[in-house]
Chain A
Amino acid sequence: MSINWESFTPITGLQGGVVIGIAVTTLLLVNGRIAGISGIFGGLFNFQMQDRAWRIAFLFGLVVSPLIYGFFGELPQSAIDNNRYLLILAGLLVGIGTRFAGGCTSGHGVCGLSRLSLRSLVATCLFIFSGMATVYVTHHMLGR
């Protein structure tokens, strides 16, 4: 294993993480809700769902966040895969997978681990493992 020292950003990583933690705290202690994006977003597509307003409010905040960030500084560059079919396949897998798992990186990874849930620890280890395995296959076996 060799570390990519050029892209490694531990300080901004920790800082951004703390801000995410404050967001989680706000939603938890003010609204009494867990900041799990897949559950908040995916729940909107369950037609029996009653409480939609706070979900829409939270998601709205998330979508406009880059506009607010843009007032204070330049938005960071992002390099996304351009392959439309791959993006669609990935989106479908993430949508179905996170809903069956009952959470994603935020719900299980941040909130679940913060409340010391064994279930979330298992989920987090599994999706990081399968993500690493996927990158191994696509980057080192198929040579994308």
Chain B
Amino acid sequence: MMKKSKQNFKGLFAASFAGVLFGIGLLISGMTNPAKVIGFLDVFGLWDPSLAFVMAGAISVGLVAFAIAKRSKTSLTGETINLPENKVIDTRLVLGSLIFGIGWGLVGICPGPSLVLLGQGNLNGFTFVSALILGFVIYEIIEINIQKY
């Protein structure tokens, strides 16, 4: 009982530490600035390729992490490592990605940076996150209705 709760605490500490690091990485990279993200998407105007370098930096570390994860059975806190098994490229994936891209292109904000902007007390970030949550809820409602039929 004691051991389990100690493990839980370690897990929660690690998760919040990962969240802080993730946000600091976004801030260092400049990706919390929507204008910079729009600059990356603006290939027909003055293009700012920085976002590609952020992805490259993150993926170079991620490749090692996932290579280790694929070989290990459990995580450091003894949890099973949850690697996605879905390999299907279907309408959901295609349409969902296209819809996400439109929203992303409209204002230059995606879910990670939106929460950092919220933490900075940015009012526009708050508006975006509120709508984002509403979008998540609408998705759940659509899912429940799809399953009915």
Interface residues of A in 111-131 (CB under 8 A from B): 111-119, 122-124, 126-131
Residues of B within 8 A of A100 (CB): 92-93, 95-96, 99, 139
Question: Are B124 and A41 touching (Cβ within 8 A)?
Answer: no
Question: Are B24 and A65 touching (Cβ within 8 A)?
Answer: yes
Interface residues of A in 1-30 (CB under 8 A from B): 1-4, 7-10, 12-30
Contact among A13, A34, A106 for B111, CB-based, below 8 A: A106
Question: Are B106 and A90 touching (Cβ within 8 A)?
Answer: yes
Q: Which residue of A lies closest to B137 (CB)?
A: A45
Distance in angstroms between the alpha carbons of A124 and B58 in the assembled complex: 15
Residues of A within 8 A of B77 (CB): 30-32
Question: Are B20 and A15 touching (Cβ within 8 A)?
Answer: no
Given A32-B74, A91-B132, A122-B89, residue A16 in contact with residue B18 (CB < 8 A): no
Shortest Cβ distance from A95 into chain B, in angstroms? 2
Distance in angstroms between the alpha carbons of A54 and B14 in the assembled complex: 9
Residues of A within 8 A of B22 (CB): 19-20, 23-24, 35, 58, 61-62, 65, 106
Residues of B within 8 A of A111 (CB): 62, 66
Distance in angstroms between the alpha carbons of A26 and B50 in the assembled complex: 24
Distance in angstroms between the alpha carbons of A113 and B57 in the assembled complex: 12
Question: Are A94 and B100 touching (Cβ within 8 A)?
Answer: yes
Interface residues of B in 64-111 (CB under 8 A from A): 64-66, 68-70, 72, 74-77, 79-84, 86-89, 92-111
Question: Are B110 and A104 touching (Cβ within 8 A)?
Answer: yes
Interface membership of B16, Cβ < 8 A: yes
Question: Are A9 and B59 touching (Cβ within 8 A)?
Answer: no
Residues of A within 8 A of B94 (CB): 122, 126
Question: Are B50 and A7 touching (Cβ within 8 A)?
Answer: yes
Q: How many chain A residues touch the partner (CB < 8 A)?
A: 114
Interface membership of B149, Cβ < 8 A: no
Contact among A25, A75, A95 for B65, CB-based, below 8 A: A25
Interface string of A73-105 (1 = CB under 8 A from B): 001111111101011111111111111111011
Distance in angstroms between the alpha carbons of A28 and B105 in the assembled complex: 29
Selected A-B contacts with CB under 8 Å, 6 pairs: A9-B53, A17-B25, A22-B25, A29-B65, A93-B99, A133-B101
Q: Which residues of B contact A (CB under 8 A)?
A: 8, 10-36, 38-39, 41-66, 68-70, 72, 74-77, 79-84, 86-89, 92-112, 114-120, 122, 124-125, 127-140, 142
Q: Which residues of A contact B (CB under 8 A)?
A: 1-4, 7-10, 12-35, 37-38, 41-42, 44-47, 53-55, 57-69, 75-82, 84, 86-102, 104-106, 108-119, 122-124, 126-136, 138-140
Known contacts A25-B64, A35-B18, A102-B92, then 5 further A-B pairs from the complex at CB < 8 Å, ordered by chain A residue: A20-B21, A20-B25, A27-B18, A62-B112, A63-B115
